[in-house]
Chains A and B, each alone.
Chain A
Amino acid sequence: MKRGFQSTMNHRNIYLALIPAFLLLSVFQYIPFFSAFYRAFFDWNGAQRSEFIGWDNFTTLLADDPVFIRSLGTMGIIVAVNLVQGVGMALLLATLIHHVRSERLKYFYRIMVIIHAVVPSIVTTLLWKNFYSTDGLVNQLLSAVGLESYASTWLGDERTALGAILFLGFPWVNGVFTLIYLAAYLGINPEIYEAGRIDGVTAWKRFRYIEFSSLIPQTRLIAVLSIIGSIQNFEGILILTNGGPAYSTLVPGLMLYQYAFKYSQMGYASAIGVLMFIIILSLTLLNRKWGANE
């Protein structure tokens, strides 16, 4: 104990230097985060009016707000699809690039998967909005191949809007996730490959038993990042459909934003935030449990 204190005192300048950063983090991150748990129990308009209402916000959300329940379902679909897209495409691409024999080509592909990340996501979203317009690229392509009967108002029809949002960004290449997998591939011991070759394993078995089992920690990380991102991000939906038509693309994140900044119902928005936090935490713990079992 005494040695610990002495050690802290010896490095006090470092600890002191950390204080401003943590003070600012406290003011702008921690206090708002923790106060949301407290405010979720109030009917609070973000200003003077604040009335303690107990669990009312939560019971309304879960028992009396069909729009929120529907948005949870939509969020579930988005999380699942994004998980498959994020993990699947990054893994596929990383595996293919890893097995390219030419080092120069490998380098070229690595650059190519990351280069599109410099384009702001809002540009991509607006581009896709244009593709989905009535006389946009998607309908033009369908007409060009004789499938004009399938042309639709993709973002304006509640039967197609969610699908259109899920398809956005095709072929869903996430440069960062791909690089994480590529880095993990470099960590696989070449002797294992050699042993596999001697044993005559097929490409699929090599992937399943040698490569994928080595990539599980990265897969867990990417899965967690993908889940958190899918639950938190709603900018694309805000721009493309604003949650419509008829709430078909509404997600809890967008609802939180609307209640907080459009309707001045900060207490209700805080309750949505708390539920989102619980969902993220539960999924992360499940992921950890999966990792522990592995």
Chain B
Amino acid sequence: MFLNMNKYKRANLFFIVAFLIVSVLTGCNQNSDNSSTVVSEQSEEAAVTNENEKESAPMAGEITVVTLYKENVKNLEQAANDYMALHEKVKITVKQMPYDGYGEWLKSQFLSNNAPEVIFTEGANEFKATDHIISLNDYLEEPNPYSNSGNQKWKDDFVSPYVDLSKDAGGSVNMVPWSLFGIGIYYNKGLFEKAGISELPKTWNEFMSVGEKLKQSGVIPWAVALKPSDAQTAWPLFIMHAATTRSLVPEVNLRTADGWNFDANNPLSVQGETIGPDERYVAFKKGLIDPAKSKAMADPYRVMKQAAQYMNSKDFLAIEGGDAINKFVNGESAMLYQGTWYLPSLQTKLAEYKANGQNDKVFEFGIFPFPQITNENTDTLTMGGVNQLGGLRNGFMVKKMDDENKTKIAIDFLKFITSPQEADKLFQMTDPETGFRYITDISTVQGVAPMPGTEEMQPKQEWADMTAGGVNYDQKDWDEFWVQWQQYLTDRISEEQFLAQRSKSNLEALERNLKVFEKDVDQAWIEEQLQGLK
């Protein structure tokens, strides 16, 4: 047939076939090129996937989390279950360690190599110093894959500045922060109303008028025990001294890191700085922090003395801390200075009264921050005011391990439970028997709502606190403080005698510290600083 065609037809057919062949061949070539690209991309993807799979391979392993609080076991078990639902090959066991002497218990566990992988604790630095736990700095810079906050770094999910403030002197963060304690004044709303108090006191002077009104109404304004078993009257001194001696910090903290600058308005500016025993001793000898010579040291004592008339002065030398609490719970006193940790027992007690039909004992309570002292009370507040007492209460530390997989699980679990949504869930959990929250402290994770009523106890750090001079410098000084404080508040010794006794006790304590911390003390530096001083 092909041969029977005419010349033109044969030529046309030839070109058509040729075109088709070329087209097919070209197409095949093109396909062939595409195929090779796909194969190449596929192999690259496969390589990346393999790498990723290695990174994000389903985690498998077993870790133990130990807590020191009984009330946290349920929350942690819930967190462990939630985590295990996401990671089927991981097993997390939650255990409780003894609260009393838990530090000693942990030391023995570390020494016998039986320590759990994740430890919920109130302090971690001593275990970092002994190299038993890992530094968390690098991990906190990583993203938290469980967080919905949108933050780039895990550490940014926490309330500022607690991650940074929890660093040890070497700059290492040793604990993933979990909760903050706050301290405020619990008050009996009924007794306040009865005394005609409609506004809560914000300043010290307002606080004094509230005390007077309560006293006139026939109740004890403020229940305290004047003993170390109830440090209510010492807590205000801690925060007041930090504020009144703030301007002295640059004069007291003389041996600083290179280029250090103190910024009273920036709480982080004191990070990593510590006042050593030799610096304190020199400051004392110069009279900067000597209660007998320094107004900044003496004024907080004078201010607190004004409140003694509104305390249960009849028996505050005889009763213990627990008795002071009972006076508030029984409605004998209108105020109590206590922390977030006290909330569950107060709620439980009031619920007990209600359940027992003792409705006359049930009262509504509220909490307000400790009143601010102002320039009307002291002229030493030249750099900011008084920060509320509070701070980091607890967190999680991770054991130093050879097994990288366990470390990875431990860190991943901590990222999971500190993700805002999981933390919020855990903080909201309530005990089905009492109906109260397991955790009454304030979360360190941003966005977790505090328990209703505790909003005012949020420990705001507005100013840098380094406490140039404090109430006491060792245990003996602390014991002596209580004897002197008791005598001063009960008018058995004068202000002058009290300050002289404090001065003597402080100096003796500082001298003892020079011996105790002999290795860190630079005697030549002390002599140089005190040269020419009488």
Q: List A residues at the B interface (Cβ < 8 Å).
A: 43, 45, 49, 132-134, 153-158, 244-247, 258, 262-263, 265
A134 touches B314 (CB 8 A): yes
Most buried by B among A43, A244, A265: A244
> For window 227-283 of chain B, which residues contact chain A by CB distance below 8 Å?
227
Residue on B nearest A153 in the bound complex, by CB: B318
> For window 489-534 of chain B, which residues contact chain A by CB distance below 8 Å?
492, 515-516, 518
- Give Cα A31–Cα B93 distance, bound, in whole angstroms: 48
Question: Does residue B317 face the partner (Cβ distance < 8 Å to A)?
Answer: yes
Chain B residues with Cβ below 8 Å from A134 are 314-315, 318-319
Set B316, B319, B476, B487: member contacting A262, Cβ < 8 A? B476
Chain B residues with Cβ below 8 Å from A245 are 317, 483, 486
Given A244-B483, A246-B492, are A133 and B476 also a contact pair (CB < 8 Å)? no
**How far, in Å, is A44 (CB) from chain B's closest CB?**
11
- Give Cα A155–Cα B227 distance, bound, in whole angstroms: 13
Chain B residues with Cβ below 8 Å from A247 are 483
B318 touches A258 (CB 8 A): no
Given A43-B515, A262-B476, A263-B476, are A244 and B486 also a contact pair (CB < 8 Å)? yes
**How far, in Å, is A1 (CB) from chain B's closest CB?**
54
**How far, in Å, is B274 (CB) from chain A's closest CB?**
22
**How far, in Å, is B323 (CB) from chain A's closest CB?**
8
- Give Cα A157–Cα B471 distance, bound, in whole angstroms: 24
Chain B interface secondary structure, helix, strand, loop or mixed?
Answer: helix
Question: Does residue B88 face the partner (Cβ distance < 8 Å to A)?
Answer: no
- Give Cα A29–Cα B314 distance, bound, in whole angstroms: 46
**How far, in Å, is A265 (CB) from chain B's closest CB?**
8
Chain A residues with Cβ below 8 Å from B487 are 246
- Give Cα A49–Cα B314 distance, bound, in whole angstroms: 45
**How far, in Å, is A65 (CB) from chain B's closest CB?**
11
Given A49-B518, A262-B475, are A157 and B318 also a contact pair (CB < 8 Å)? yes
Most buried by B among A43, A134, A265: A134
Set B317, B475, B479, B492: member contacting A153, Cβ < 8 A? B317
B483 touches A156 (CB 8 A): no
- Give Cα A155–Cα B318 distance, bound, in whole angstroms: 6
Chain A residues with Cβ below 8 Å from B476 are 262-263, 265
Most buried by B among A132, A157, A245: A245
Chain B residues with Cβ below 8 Å from A262 are 475-476, 479
What are the 3 A-B residue pairs with the smallest beta carbon separation, nearest first?
A156-B318, A156-B317, A153-B318
- Give Cα A265–Cα B482 distance, bound, in whole angstroms: 20
Chain B residues with Cβ below 8 Å from A258 are 479
Most buried by A among B315, B318, B479: B318
30 A-B pairs (CB sep. < 8 Å) = A45-B516, A49-B516, A49-B518, A132-B318, A133-B318, A133-B323, A134-B314, A134-B315, A134-B319, A153-B314, A153-B318, A155-B318, A156-B315, A156-B316, A156-B317, A156-B319, A158-B492, A244-B227, A244-B317, A244-B482, A244-B483, A244-B486, A246-B483, A246-B486, A246-B492, A262-B475, A263-B474, A263-B475, A263-B476, A265-B476
**How far, in Å, is A251 (CB) from chain B's closest CB?**
15
**How far, in Å, is B509 (CB) from chain A's closest CB?**
10
**How far, in Å, is B104 (CB) from chain A's closest CB?**
15
Chain A residues with Cβ below 8 Å from B314 are 134, 153
4 more contacts with CB within 8 A, not counting A43-B515, A156-B316, A263-B476, are A49-B518, A133-B318, A157-B318, A265-B476
**How far, in Å, is A50 (CB) from chain B's closest CB?**
11
- Give Cα A200–Cα B316 distance, bound, in whole angstroms: 61
**How far, in Å, is A48 (CB) from chain B's closest CB?**
10
Chain A residues with Cβ below 8 Å from B319 are 133-134, 156
Chain B residues with Cβ below 8 Å from A246 are 483, 486-487, 492
- Give Cα A49–Cα B514 distance, bound, in whole angstroms: 12
Chain B residues with Cβ below 8 Å from A244 are 227, 317, 482-483, 486
> For window 47-81 of chain B, which residues contact chain A by CB distance below 8 Å?
none
**How far, in Å, is B32 (CB) from chain A's closest CB?**
81
- Give Cα A133–Cα B483 distance, bound, in whole angstroms: 20
**How far, in Å, is A148 (CB) from chain B's closest CB?**
13
- Give Cα A153–Cα B314 distance, bound, in whole angstroms: 8
- Give Cα A155–Cα B486 distance, bound, in whole angstroms: 13
**How far, in Å, is B61 (CB) from chain A's closest CB?**
41
Residue on B nearest A43 in the bound complex, by CB: B515
Complex interface bits, B303-328 against A, C-beta within 8 A gives 1, otherwise 0: 00000000000111111000100000
**How far, in Å, is A19 (CB) from chain B's closest CB?**
34
- Give Cα A156–Cα B314 distance, bound, in whole angstroms: 9
Chain A residues with Cβ below 8 Å from B516 are 45, 49
Chain B residues with Cβ below 8 Å from A263 are 474-476
**How far, in Å, is B252 (CB) from chain A's closest CB?**
25
> For window 318-352 of chain B, which residues contact chain A by CB distance below 8 Å?
318-319, 323
- Give Cα A258–Cα B515 distance, bound, in whole angstroms: 19
- Give Cα A263–Cα B319 distance, bound, in whole angstroms: 25
Chain B residues with Cβ below 8 Å from A158 are 492
Residue on A nearest B486 in the bound complex, by CB: A245
- Give Cα A227–Cα B122 distance, bound, in whole angstroms: 47
Complex interface bits, B173-205 against A, C-beta within 8 A gives 1, otherwise 0: 000000000000000000000000000000000
**How far, in Å, is A271 (CB) from chain B's closest CB?**
16
Residue on A nearest B493 in the bound complex, by CB: A246
Residue on B nearest A247 in the bound complex, by CB: B483
Set B318, B474, B479, B518: member contacting A154, Cβ < 8 A? B318
Chain A residues with Cβ below 8 Å from B315 are 134, 153, 156
**How far, in Å, is B265 (CB) from chain A's closest CB?**
39
Most buried by A among B227, B476, B483: B483
**How far, in Å, is B502 (CB) from chain A's closest CB?**
15
- Give Cα A144–Cα B108 distance, bound, in whole angstroms: 56
Most buried by B among A45, A134, A158, A246: A246
- Give Cα A65–Cα B317 distance, bound, in whole angstroms: 24
**How far, in Å, is B237 (CB) from chain A's closest CB?**
19
Residue on B nearest A262 in the bound complex, by CB: B475
- Give Cα A247–Cα B319 distance, bound, in whole angstroms: 17
Residue on B nearest A157 in the bound complex, by CB: B317
- Give Cα A45–Cα B492 distance, bound, in whole angstroms: 34
**How far, in Å, is B114 (CB) from chain A's closest CB?**
26
Chain A residues with Cβ below 8 Å from B316 are 156
Chain B residues with Cβ below 8 Å from A49 are 515-516, 518
- Give Cα A209–Cα B315 distance, bound, in whole angstroms: 51
**How far, in Å, is B318 (CB) from chain A's closest CB?**
3
Complex interface bits, B84-104 against A, C-beta within 8 A gives 1, otherwise 0: 000000000000000000000
